[in-house]
């Protein structure tokens, strides 16, 4: 245990500085190093037996850093600038999306899939043909028919006037 205490006293600042250089704030770096050293303490016999202890601990530090960065953040993020508040109707986007969804629902599945892949996923006709397992000409005809149906949809007339 004294060996571990000496190691921490000697290497703490270097490990914290390494974590800061990896991209942590100073407080995050201290937390990260503390977490790594806790893991080292649990496995100290193994850690102290390796040839290059510093390299081993730094590898643990990097792995912990990368693992923490991969975790999905679901909390709030502060913004430097708040979005401007406007008085316009924010429900119009929802109404437009609803109109479009309803129009797409009226299309046959193969045509709807073609429209989504082309105009939402932005795939090329060749990519779409590969995804759908059909010829490029089939993709073109499905898109052509779908666009024709959507162009004649009376519920989308309001959207066409806006655009």
| pLDDT at residue 39, as a whole number | 94
Virtual torsion, Cα 95, 98, 100, 102, nearest 10 deg = -140
| pLDDT at residue 55, as a whole number | 86
- Return d(Cα 128, Cα 45) in angstroms, integer: 56
Q: How does pLDDT run across 120-135, given as a tens digit for each residue? A: 778 888 888 888 889 9
Residue 28, pLDDT > 60, answer: yes
Report the mean per-residue pLDDT for the chain. Answer: 83
Q: Where are the domains of the chain?
A: 1-73+92-162
Q: Angle, to 10 degrees, between the axis of helix 2-22 and the axis of helix 53-70? A: 50
Quote the tokens at residue 126: 């060749």
* Short-list 100, 29, 97, CA closest to 68: 29
| pLDDT at residue 161, as a whole number | 65
Q: Residue 64 in contact with residue 28, Cβ under 8 Å? A: no
Per-residue pLDDT band at 35 (split at 50, 70, 90): very high
| pLDDT at residue 6, as a whole number | 93
Average pLDDT rounded to a whole number, residues 135-154: 92
Q: Taking the model in full, what pTM does it have?
A: 0.45
Residue 10, pLDDT > 80, answer: yes
Contacts of 40 (CB under 8 A, 6+ apart): 4, 47, 57, 60
- Return d(Cα 134, Cα 117) in angstroms, integer: 14
Average pLDDT rounded to a whole number, residues 64-92: 69
Q: Residue 63 in contact with residue 120, Cβ under 8 Å? A: no
CATH ID of 1-73+92-162, from 3.40.190.10, 1.10.645.10, 1.10.1660.10, 1.10.10.10: 1.10.10.10
Higher pLDDT, 73 or 17: 17
Residue 42, pLDDT > 90, answer: yes
């Amino acid at each position: 245990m004294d060996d571990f205490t000496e190691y921490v006293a000697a290497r703490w600042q270097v490990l914290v500085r390494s974590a800061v250089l990896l991209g942590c704030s100073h407080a995050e770096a201290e937390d990260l190093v503390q977490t790594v050293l806790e893991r080292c303490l649990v496995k100290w016999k193994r850690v102290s037996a390796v040839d290059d202890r510093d390299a081993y601990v730094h590898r643990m530090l990097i792995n912990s850093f990368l693992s923490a960065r991969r975790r999905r953040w679901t909390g709030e993020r502060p913004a430097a600038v708040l979005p401007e508040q406007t008085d316009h109707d924010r429900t119009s986007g929802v109404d437009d999306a609803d109109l479009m969804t309803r129009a797409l629902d009226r299309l046959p599945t193969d045509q709807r899939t073609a429209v989504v892949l082309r105009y939402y996923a932005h795939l090329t006709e060749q990519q779409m043909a590969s995804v759908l397992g059909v010829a490029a000409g089939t993709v073109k005809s499905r898109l052509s028919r779908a666009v024709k149906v959507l162009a004649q949809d009376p519920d989308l007339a309001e959207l066409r006037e806006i655009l």
